[in-house]
Homo-oligomer: A and B are copies of this chain.
Amino acid sequence: MKLPPQGAARIEAQMAFLCEVDRLKSVVRATTLCDGSRRENSGEHSWHIALYAMTLAEHAAADVDINRVIKMLLLHDIVEIDSGDNPIFGAADQSAVEAKEDAAALRIFGLLPAEQSHEFITLWREFEAAKTPDAVFAKSLDRFQPPNQNLASGGGSWIEYDVSFETIEARVGSKVARGAPRLWAYIKPKIQNWFAQNR
């Protein structure tokens, strides 16, 4: 089989994107693996929460299209290749972060053929805006995974950032509860129990 020149150029663009995103495997997050052996990277994190979506779909607060949620989660952190991860307990300037992430989206998704680039940027912006049921549920899973990792590893980023239960409830709990109230009801007493024992 020989590819027509147009077909080859299209695949070249798609592969330029798929090679560039390989760098997400080198973006390091605040959270560790469950066994605490090392910090998690944003590539493997993206796999893990796509699997969270596949497994926990039934707990979404509203009707969601789980296939769109999974696609959103596969894309959601790619901008971090340029902007780095923003730990939820950090104190970054939010509007500066947003400007940087938007430029990153244009550059990285811009490697794709035009209509595909548009499709991926649109999906990523929907996630960021967190207004549609799909995006709200995707965001709630993105917030729900780190406390599970912290409970498994014995504290993780809660210790490192010296946070209180109240901070977690405000920054994490509110967002988990918005998209998946049952998941917050499940984990809240476990987090409270960890703080009662360790803080």
Pick out which of these stretches binds chain B: A3-11, A84-92, A162-170: A3-11
Q: Does A106 contact B (CB under 8 A)?
A: no
Partner of A186, one of B3, B52, B181: B3
CB-CB under 8 A from A25, the residues of chain B are 33, 40, 44, 48
- Report the Cα distance A33→B54, complex, angstroms: 26
Closest chain B CB from A113 CB (angstroms)? 10
Closest chain B CB from A56 CB (angstroms)? 6
CB-CB under 8 A from A67, the residues of chain B are 67, 70
Pick out which of these stretches binds chain B: A13-21, A97-105, A128-136, A191-199: A13-21
Contact A21 B112 (CB under 8 A): no
- Report the Cα distance A25→B34, complex, angstroms: 10
Which size bracket describes the interface of A in this complex?
35 or more
CB-CB under 8 A from A8, the residues of chain B are 186
Q: Does A125 contact B (CB under 8 A)?
A: no
Contact A50 B50 (CB under 8 A): yes
Closest chain B CB from A45 CB (angstroms)? 8
- Report the Cα distance A25→B41, complex, angstroms: 9
* A interface secondary structure, majority: helix
Known: A1-B184, A2-B185, A43-B44. 15 other contacts (CB 8 A): A3-B182, A3-B185, A3-B186, A11-B186, A18-B55, A18-B148, A19-B34, A19-B152, A25-B40, A43-B47, A43-B48, A44-B47, A50-B70, A51-B74, A70-B70
For this chain, the copies found in one complex come to: 2
Contact B22 A55 (CB under 8 A): no
Contact B22 A149 (CB under 8 A): yes
Closest chain B CB from A146 CB (angstroms)? 12
Q: Does A28 contact B (CB under 8 A)?
A: no
Q: Does A37 contact B (CB under 8 A)?
A: yes
Q: Does A183 contact B (CB under 8 A)?
A: yes
